[in-house]
Chain A
């Protein structure tokens, strides 16, 4: 049963600390997406990769967020420095070369 995996599932950190979230897309999927979900803003797209190349990161605060795909089996989302307003659930999703996307379980981030 292929699925997207994300680590860690939960992260509590203090303001100013670096946070790295990892995602393993479904094998064979060549599109990867990072989303953030909050009660106030709902589900927002942060970044989007196709064949490991970043295609769109316009939803991401550039000064503190960065997203990379070092290889086809790993996508990372980094926040440095973290702020309390970054507290949210961060989802990774992957898809075959089509418009269907499959979501991972998410990382619940709390920044104190």
Chain B
């Protein structure tokens, strides 16, 4: 079992809809949780991080963390075609700064 699991997609949503991206992790001791966005041919770009259970909002993005169920999700409201990218979930499982990445979910926002 991989430490961080994501559905590879593609997840296809119409423009203006809410896109919901999910991620599960296996290590209950995981400390910190991150969402990176990666456009094709580009490098990963940090868009959200969350440490505590609950929701964290930043503009159109909301990260949700449920440590009891070991999942973290990213909601993108009012999806735009420019949001089309691969979204990588990443977790730090110990006191180091080592990120463990999921394989990513490809999001397609249809105009």
Contact = CB atoms under 8 A, between A and B. Distances in A.
Q: Is the interface of A mostly helix, strand, loop or mixed?
A: strand
A36 to B, nearest CB: 11
Interface residues of B, number: 21
A99 B43 CA distance: 18
Interface residues of A, number: 21
B92 interface: yes
A51 B104 CA distance: 30
A55 B96 contact: yes
Contacts of A99: 31-32, 34, 49, 92, 97, 99
B103 interface: yes
A102 interface: yes
Interface of B: 31-32, 34, 36, 42-46, 49, 88, 92, 96-104
Interface of A: 31, 33, 42-45, 48, 50, 55-56, 91, 95, 98-106
